A and B are shown apart, each in its own frame.
Chain A
């Protein structure tokens, strides 16, 4: 019993101090909120049942221990008929009670499921397509106007208070999209499109992670959902639609040349330059991202340098080519990429 209460305490602590860490019991949106409410309902009810069942089990320990010595055999190895009848009643009662409780749980569960799935059906929704790749996320903001379609990676910006439809696709193996503070999982399955509605109540950065084993770097396939007030989101979006600014200093100009003359261009796209590869994340506004290598590392010049020089040590098995960059070329390349705000 003590263990249970310790666990409870731990749960309470984690629910209060979780902040922006990914957590099921720290909801930041209506979907996650409903599920968290259902969770606590299940939790308390089942804890109560567990305690009752354990109490009965522990009670049997109070019966006298007969020891290993064999006593003379009795004729009947069962209690009196009266006792059996009594037991039968109790067990039947407990079973009926179990059925009733499970029925209640079923009703609540299905009800919550229905409510959650209907939450997104408003008409001011935003549609974002998330495509899974080994081991990063491509994020595409859908729009019927092609000039308003934005391609980004490993970060999703959403406006607070607006439902967002996430369309999920995969280019290689099965991944799973999961931002626990906002909603449960949805798998990304090759040859299929799955969908999920999410919505954030309050501004913040919510961490998500691939939840279906997808190979060597399953552990480092991280995604941030950045919820901002509508106006701030709009401003960000308009800025993100712009092509990359031309490098303004000699050193970043040199960096651009390094980028364009290396294998980088076969996989990465920087709008506004000739780099148009589609195999890796779009780097048009790389400098404004929070992390590199699908948020394996925070986006700092030092980390970026390490990542370019030796990606296989940072994230072994990932698909970024290890290229030979001269020591005098490295700093300009870093500066250039970091300047892509």
Chain B
């Protein structure tokens, strides 16, 4: 690896140091070695690739659904198959694509942006990935054995209960939640610890890049939201397998309680998905307008406010259940407040674009697409916050349109931008700009063609989740249009994939900092070495790569013969102590296998909880058993 001379010209080149780092951070070989990787780039990339595969799976499911709905009284899919597919689509997109994709980017980028070598708990990181993969395969095992969940992705009881969803369909779903949430919580805990304790020296709180702020807020939201969904899915699972009565009204349980607990997670979940995407937008905007994002403090504060408010408005998913009026007014008000905090961010980005020196790259195209779609989704969101309007359009295609506008517009478009922006960092080559712009326009047109008509369908009374509709309902033409749009959207996806594969091989060589961006990940090589930086950089400003090269500072004195990183203080990021990260290990993988045996088996027999726990305990002892050298020399 060539040291990053062009960004840190005053870095001393010491061949010995680099050779040491290369040796210490080398990946273990063989299949066992591959299962033992703990570097954040490898794990992050695994997350990204796996999540992308599930995006494709979810996309295929979406196309099947759209094909079924293209014509009235269509018999392409029966009701049973349709219900399985729409549930699998929603579940896949939320739990197996969106959240893991955002986490994958976070794992990949956060240590780079913080100027450190790895996340704080590399083995936990590996374990989290294996849990995610196990959960995803578990659900799709069900899908391919005709046991795909068929009760909707929020699995309302009693429909998802033991009597109305016979077989194991809902159990697969509920246990998949446990898998993916364990994974998400591992990622959240390690990202917060990394952001708190492993920032580059002098990267005080007010110098943290906006994207890292977004990941920090998202991770905190995961900590407080994901337990709720684990409780909710455990309610379902234990009711179904060991006959508890958490949601059985006959024995004192309550089906509405499930909705409360689920949406206490379910609403923040949306923000868990798009807050990192807003971070992407900030990073892209600042790099491609070559100007710091306007209103750093306002951006950070409104993101934090977003995070808090997200926990106070879950009830707006439940207006139709009939709540006391005072509650309705409160939840309307809190739902509207999201528009303020999101509005501030939109205004700041527009202000940045307005006064920057923009380069209209593909990444920036996606930011514009994001603004258009997300603002429209926000407008319909404001409508849905109003109780009377919500009572009319709740659970119709209007809502389907709304959440695809905020999730595809708010998360997938920035994500596409992020791919174009960071692809050169991850692979060393730029993605093709011409295909990129084509890709953008096909996606943008396809998206609006698919989802805009759904607003009107909702107003015309088309409920969501119906597998067919009669011709006299008058929903045929718009549904047909939406189906055409869906296929255009799919073509857009194919163009993107083609661009990725083509650019990986033939794209222009990027160099370390092709965009002349400001954050620290661009100081590393492209693609980064396993240790990220030969010498850890210090953050002398909010835009550390925009200070003149001769003013940049770097860290010396870390030992290169073991995986050593620097721990800094929480507020001001002053160097505090050195910290030795563990070497690669197979134990996280084995532990994940043990936990999988417990989780997957307990769907069929509750005793597997015991066997799984014992196995997991054994694996954890192996994981933490002390190895030489016991004493760390200074």
Contact = CB atoms under 8 A, between A and B. Distances in A.
Q: Describe B's contact surface by its main secondary structure.
A: helix
Contacts of B320: 176, 184-187, 211-212
Interface stretch (A107-115, A144-152, A253-261, A329-337): A107-115
Interface string A32-68: 1011001100110011011001101101110101111
A189 interface: yes
A219 B466 contact: yes
A77 B543 CA distance: 9
Given A91-B298, A106-B333, A46 B391 contact: no
A251 interface: no
A289 interface: no
B623 interface: no
A129 to B, nearest CB: 15
B394 interface: yes
A47 B254 CA distance: 41
B287 to A, nearest CB: 10
Contacts of A308: none
A333 B66 CA distance: 40
B357 A66 contact: yes
Interface stretch (B216-224, B456-464, B491-499): B456-464
Interface in B132-179: 151-152, 156, 158-159, 164
B355 A79 contact: yes
Given A66-B358, A91-B295, A91-B298, A24 B333 contact: no
Interface string B380-391: 001101111111
Given A87-B294, A116-B388, A189 B461 contact: no
Range of interface residues on B (Cβ < 8 Å): 35 or more
A14 B152 CA distance: 30
A94 B350 CA distance: 12
Nearest to A70: B516
Given A21-B460, A60-B358, A194-B322, A213 B79 contact: no
Given A34-B388, A53-B375, A110-B329, A22 B159 contact: no
B469 interface: yes
B354 A59 contact: yes
B382 A187 contact: no
B161 to A, nearest CB: 8
A79 B351 CA distance: 11
Name the residue in B295, B388, B395 with the highest tally of chain A Cβ atoms < 10 Å from its Cβ.
Answer: B388
A290 B402 CA distance: 35
B512 interface: no
B350 A213 contact: no
Contact of A14 (B386, B456, B543): B456
Interface in A87-145: 87-88, 90-91, 94-95, 98-99, 102, 105-106, 109-110, 112-114, 116-117, 134
Contacts of A78: 291-292
B322 A14 contact: no
Given A23-B460, A91-B347, A185-B394, A54 B467 contact: no
Contacts of B368: 57, 61
Nearest to B79: A216
Nearest to B468: A219
B256 A192 contact: yes
Interface stretch (B190-198, B337-345, B519-527, B600-608): B337-345
Nearest to B461: A22
B442 to A, nearest CB: 16
A14 B455 CA distance: 12
Nearest to A295: B470
B94 interface: no
Closest CB pairs A-B (n = 6): A184-B391, A191-B249, A22-B461, A219-B466, A109-B386, A60-B353
Given A109-B389, A113-B328, 17 more contacts: A7-B456, A23-B460, A32-B392, A39-B383, A46-B379, A46-B382, A53-B350, A60-B353, A63-B358, A66-B359, A87-B294, A90-B347, A91-B294, A95-B347, A112-B386, A186-B320, A211-B394
